[in-house]
A and B are shown apart, each in its own frame.
Chain A
Amino acid sequence: MLSFLRASSRANLSPYHVVIRTLITTENIVESAPEKKLYKKDPPVSSSEPSDSALPASGMSTFGEQFPHYDIVINGGGIVGLSFLLYLQQSPFLSDRKILLLESQKDRPPVNLGELINQERLLSNRVSSLTLASKQFFNNLDVWSNLEPYAKPTRSMHVWSTKYSKGITFTPHRISFVDNLIKDSRCHIPGDDNLCYIIENDIILAGLRNKIRSDCIRFDSKLTNVDAIPGDTTVELTLSDESKITTNLLIGCDGYNSFVRQSSDINYFDLDLSQSAIVGTVQISKESDLDENDVAFQRFVPHNRNVLALLPLTQNFASFVLSVPRNQVNGLMELSDEAFVNLLNENLFLDANVSKNQSMLSFVTNTCDSLLEKIIPSDAASSLPRINPPQVISIEPESRASFPLKFGTTLPWMVGTVKGGDKQKCILIGDSAHRVHPLAGQGLNLGLGDAEILGQYLDEALSNGQDIFSDNETSQEQLNQVLYNVERQRQFKLIPMMTAIHTMQDLFTYLPSNVFTAFNKLNFVKNEIVRFANSR
């Protein structure tokens, strides 16, 4: 029934149609019951030759040549794809299955993390923050111990807009009574002294590669065509070297330009944010010798709508992400290093009242702000992690890079059929299903969450003795049930998180700054936000 509702809402039918058609189908079920009896009585006649009658059902095998068959094909060997593969390899039930990961790049011997540890190295400008749930995931995959020397623990995060002192400081999650309410172990994350961990993407990739048995990875091969025939229980894939394979389940973790998504019927909604991000590595000033540089800073700069995030990388270095309107990005990229450092410091320190843009909105905001200031007692020496934001001293040469920011999602759907087929055969995880603004540092974590939940559900189905990778209707139905459960589980996380990320910028820019001072005191609410961000 649910899957029918799903199908009809995909076809953009109105709710009334859905109701009417649902009623009709229920009638059909009742009416068609006697026919099914007849059908069920048929087989004894043909049971003398079961193999012959079974063959036409398996579809592809009747015509053409047999291609190598895989139970699961993963397209894309990024962090999400590799960690999903590693999860599969470590599950006793899934490691027996035939699994293949397609990676378009050539095989490079992975960096040996153990050797790297005491070397001077150039910090990479592509970094990610890992939430506690992601850390737990890597811990379960037995990768975390290799990553830990490179991961910079972040103790707190300070977010502000107009005035530094009127910001919100997020601190690590404390166990609250809500944790007792949530008994589901899938959501439960043990307490940790840190808010998140900042780590370079290359290090994560190397850590994963060191653990993965690479016999299930096919390097230097791209998916060029995905094909399915109605009624068929497998999907036929053509690779860049013209070879063909078939699979029962195609998993797309091939990034925001996902080929799997383009060759499926899943609708993609995308929006150009007309912003660009500039990333790079900078050296920042320490407040004292005791300063461990373990605070992440984020400012929604009010006068130019920039967003600047400083993520600690080592004792002295931090990675920055500056998102600016698209038309300014070329100019900023051409700036000299000194001028760029000045610009960063301006974005960190400059107060809003320097540049007065007298729009109606800012007038309202300022009036509210001054009113609120009279109501809320101000105590500047509250829980600020530092007295002042850190000052950028210098930028690492050649570390600046820029990329356009876009928003895109296939939600609420992640599961779909391949174009031409009629069976739900592919699922999108990671950036291929949801591309978000980097300001909250959640993109990778959401993708890892997808990978973990999908792996868990597949593992659970197999550990219950379900037959989800066979060429028949029952097993197809069971596989679909598993995929729908994954999709539903992820919707509860992805939709609120993506909504939060994309309203945050407007909230911080337009809300009066004293609202944040007040909010900063609501420890319970802050705690729940941190818990939500850190959970799966």
Chain B
Amino acid sequence: MVILMRFAVRSNLLPWLLSSHQTNKSLTVGVRNLSTVLPDEVSFYNNAGFDWWSGISMKPLRALNQLRVPLIRDTLTGGRKLTTSKPLNGYSCIDVGCGGGLLCEPLARLGASVTGIDPSQSSIQAAEEHRDWFSSSLSENLNYKMTSIEDFVVNESHHNQFDAVVASEVLEHVQDLDLFIKCCEKLIKPGGNLIVTTINQTLAAYIIDILIAEKVLGLIPQGTHQYELFISPTSLQKLVEHNNFTVRSIQGMMYNPLSSRWSWSKCTANNYAMVAVKDAKETKQNS
């Protein structure tokens, strides 16, 4: 590890270390998997038995709410001053890949009507149990559904329904990103937002998220992340803009494990968040 780092520094590899590698995995036209979901991933989440709401392995993800909830809240409200305790009342969100509902519950608590979908049965079960046991007041505006996004989109009544589609820390588990973004596009109302947080495809991300977090320290179960599935902000931007979105912002996120706090940063080498707006014009032409 140390040798590797020293080598990287000596041979001026640092810029390379922090820059993105294009693998062009999902941008290749013609190759089309019919699913966004990897069967391995689903069985991994079914068997991993994550302790979503307590325990140390999900602590960074729980702490991430410090950044992503204000991001979603302020994107939806347009940054206006908050005057009620339910500022998201009247907005509808869908959390794709909701896991144990870590993000759904805060959003629902702020008044939004939230739908959480996830292809893993045990994740959905954990999320529903937590809602019923600990946050029973949210059962009116928080619903979970065990489904993949492409199956969810088949039902046309879901089209153009959501003010925001949130895909937080899921893109790195998605097989066919193009299909995933296309499905998201169908769900969002014209002018609505796609909010994504994910991991960049850099060596830094590989070292931090796979080598250190999974293999050396064992903070996350091994096999949570796969390097090939990470995506760099530039390729994601291309992909998203190709699918009728305009990217509003891309921002890096940094985690401090000692204070377990996240903060915004300019460096997108590891984690980043992207907000994209669905263009209203083209949908009008289509319809």
By a beta-carbon cutoff of 8 Å, the part of chain A in contact with chain B is 1-2, 29-30, 33, 36-37, 39-41, 43-44, 47, 50, 53-54, 92-93, 95-96, 462-467, 470, 472-475, 477, 481, 488
For residue B190, give the distance in angstroms from its CB to the closest CB of chain A: 26
Q: Please pick, from A2, A44, A473, the residue contacting B54 in the complex, using a CB distance under 8 A.
A: A473
For residue B127, give the distance in angstroms from its CB to the closest CB of chain A: 12
**Cα of A282 to Cα of B84 in the assembled complex, Å:** 49
Residues on B with beta carbons closer than 8 Å to the beta carbon of A41: 49
- Interface residues on chain B, size class: 35 or more
Residues on B with beta carbons closer than 8 Å to the beta carbon of A462: 85
Within 8 A of A (CB), among B43-80: 48-51, 53-57, 65-66, 69-70, 73
Return the CB mask of B63-103 against A: 1 if under 8 Å, else 0: 00110011001000000001111010000000000000000
Let me know if A465 and B107 touch, CB within 8 A: yes
Return the CB mask of B206-220 against A: 1 if under 8 Å, else 0: 000000000000100
Let me know if A44 and B85 touch, CB within 8 A: no
By a beta-carbon cutoff of 8 Å, the part of chain B in contact with chain A is 48-51, 53-57, 65-66, 69-70, 73, 82-85, 87, 105-110, 125-126, 129, 132-135, 218, 258-260
For residue B188, give the distance in angstroms from its CB to the closest CB of chain A: 21
Residues on A with beta carbons closer than 8 Å to the beta carbon of B66: 464
Let me know if A96 and B109 touch, CB within 8 A: no
What are 7 inter-chain pairs, A to B, with CB distance below 8 A?
A39-B51, A47-B125, A465-B108, A466-B65, A470-B135, A475-B134, A488-B259
**Cα of A462 to Cα of B260 in the assembled complex, Å:** 18
Q: With CB as the reference atom, state the residue of chain A lying closest to B108.
A: A465
**Cα of A463 to Cα of B70 in the assembled complex, Å:** 8
Residues on B with beta carbons closer than 8 Å to the beta carbon of A475: 134
Let me know if A465 and B109 touch, CB within 8 A: yes
- Residue in B66, B110, B133, B258 with the greatest tally of chain A CB atoms within 10 Å: B133
Q: A47-B129, A463-B73, A464-B106 are in contact. Are A40 and B51 (CB under 8 A)?
A: yes
Q: Please pick, from A2, A43, A44, A464, the residue contacting B70 in the complex, using a CB distance under 8 A.
A: A464
**Cα of A93 to Cα of B82 in the assembled complex, Å:** 9
Q: A50-B132, A463-B73, A464-B69 are in contact. Are A96 and B85 (CB under 8 A)?
A: yes
For residue B35, give the distance in angstroms from its CB to the closest CB of chain A: 26
Residues on B with beta carbons closer than 8 Å to the beta carbon of A473: 54
Let me know if B259 and A2 touch, CB within 8 A: yes
Residues on A with beta carbons closer than 8 Å to the beta carbon of B85: 92-93, 95-96, 462
Q: Please pick, from B83, B106, B133, B135, the residue contacting A50 in the complex, using a CB distance under 8 A.
A: B133
Residues on A with beta carbons closer than 8 Å to the beta carbon of B51: 36, 39-40
For residue A233, give the distance in angstroms from its CB to the closest CB of chain B: 11
Let me know if A474 and B69 touch, CB within 8 A: no
Residues on A with beta carbons closer than 8 Å to the beta carbon of B135: 467, 470
- Residue in A36, A44, A462 with the greatest tally of chain B CB atoms within 10 Å: A36
Q: A44-B125, A50-B132, A465-B69 are in contact. Are A36 and B106 (CB under 8 A)?
A: no
**Cα of A464 to Cα of B57 in the assembled complex, Å:** 21
Additional pairs, 19, CB under 8 Å, beyond known A30-B218, A466-B109, A474-B54: A2-B259, A37-B48, A37-B49, A40-B49, A40-B126, A41-B49, A44-B125, A50-B129, A53-B133, A54-B133, A92-B82, A92-B85, A463-B110, A464-B69, A464-B70, A465-B105, A465-B107, A465-B110, A474-B53
Let me know if A467 and B105 touch, CB within 8 A: yes
Let me know if B54 and A477 touch, CB within 8 A: yes
**Cα of A162 to Cα of B205 in the assembled complex, Å:** 63
- Residue in A39, A462, A463 with the greatest tally of chain B CB atoms within 10 Å: A463
For residue A347, give the distance in angstroms from its CB to the closest CB of chain B: 48
**Cα of A41 to Cα of B106 in the assembled complex, Å:** 25
Q: Please pick, from B108, B110, B129, B218, the residue contacting A43 in the complex, using a CB distance under 8 A.
A: B129
Counting from the closest, the 9 A-B pairs by CB-CB distance are: A465-B106, A37-B49, A465-B109, A464-B69, A96-B85, A40-B49, A93-B85, A54-B133, A465-B110
Residues on B with beta carbons closer than 8 Å to the beta carbon of A33: 57
**Cα of A434 to Cα of B125 in the assembled complex, Å:** 48
**Cα of A39 to Cα of B110 in the assembled complex, Å:** 30
**Cα of A213 to Cα of B126 in the assembled complex, Å:** 42
Q: A2-B258, A93-B85 are in contact. Are A464 and B65 (CB under 8 A)?
A: yes
**Cα of A223 to Cα of B260 in the assembled complex, Å:** 36
**Cα of A463 to Cα of B83 in the assembled complex, Å:** 11
Q: With CB as the reference atom, state the residue of chain B lying closest to A57.
A: B133
Q: A464-B106, A470-B134 are in contact. Are A36 and B55 (CB under 8 A)?
A: yes
For residue B115, give the distance in angstroms from its CB to the closest CB of chain A: 16
**Cα of A95 to Cα of B84 in the assembled complex, Å:** 9
Residues on B with beta carbons closer than 8 Å to the beta carbon of A39: 51
Residues on B with beta carbons closer than 8 Å to the beta carbon of A474: 53-54, 134
Let me know if B49 and A463 touch, CB within 8 A: no
For residue A2, give the distance in angstroms from its CB to the closest CB of chain B: 7
For residue A293, give the distance in angstroms from its CB to the closest CB of chain B: 40
- Residue in B83, B84, B134 with the greatest tally of chain A CB atoms within 10 Å: B134
Residues on A with beta carbons closer than 8 Å to the beta carbon of B50: 40
Residues on B with beta carbons closer than 8 Å to the beta carbon of A40: 49-51, 126
**Cα of A472 to Cα of B136 in the assembled complex, Å:** 12
**Cα of A3 to Cα of B129 in the assembled complex, Å:** 28
Let me know if B49 and A36 touch, CB within 8 A: yes
For residue A316, give the distance in angstroms from its CB to the closest CB of chain B: 44
Residues on A with beta carbons closer than 8 Å to the beta carbon of B260: 2, 481
For residue B98, give the distance in angstroms from its CB to the closest CB of chain A: 14
Residues on B with beta carbons closer than 8 Å to the beta carbon of A36: 49, 51, 55
Let me know if A466 and B106 touch, CB within 8 A: yes
For residue B142, give the distance in angstroms from its CB to the closest CB of chain A: 11
For residue A59, give the distance in angstroms from its CB to the closest CB of chain B: 14
For residue B110, give the distance in angstroms from its CB to the closest CB of chain A: 5
Residues on A with beta carbons closer than 8 Å to the beta carbon of B133: 50, 53-54, 472
For residue B113, give the distance in angstroms from its CB to the closest CB of chain A: 14
Q: With CB as the reference atom, state the residue of chain A lying closest to B70.
A: A464
For residue A69, give the distance in angstroms from its CB to the closest CB of chain B: 15
Q: A463-B73, A473-B54, A474-B134 are in contact. Are A92 and B49 (CB under 8 A)?
A: no
Q: With CB as the reference atom, state the residue of chain A lying closest to B82.
A: A92
Residues on A with beta carbons closer than 8 Å to the beta carbon of B84: 92
Residues on A with beta carbons closer than 8 Å to the beta carbon of B87: 92, 463
For residue A488, give the distance in angstroms from its CB to the closest CB of chain B: 8
Let me know if A463 and B54 touch, CB within 8 A: no
**Cα of A93 to Cα of B53 in the assembled complex, Å:** 23
- Residue in B69, B82, B129 with the greatest tally of chain A CB atoms within 10 Å: B129
For residue B265, give the distance in angstroms from its CB to the closest CB of chain A: 13
Residues on B with beta carbons closer than 8 Å to the beta carbon of A37: 48-49
Let me know if B65 and A465 touch, CB within 8 A: yes
Q: With CB as the reference atom, state the residue of chain A lying closest to B259.
A: A2
**Cα of A2 to Cα of B132 in the assembled complex, Å:** 31
Q: With CB as the reference atom, state the residue of chain A lying closest to B72.
A: A465
**Cα of A66 to Cα of B230 in the assembled complex, Å:** 52
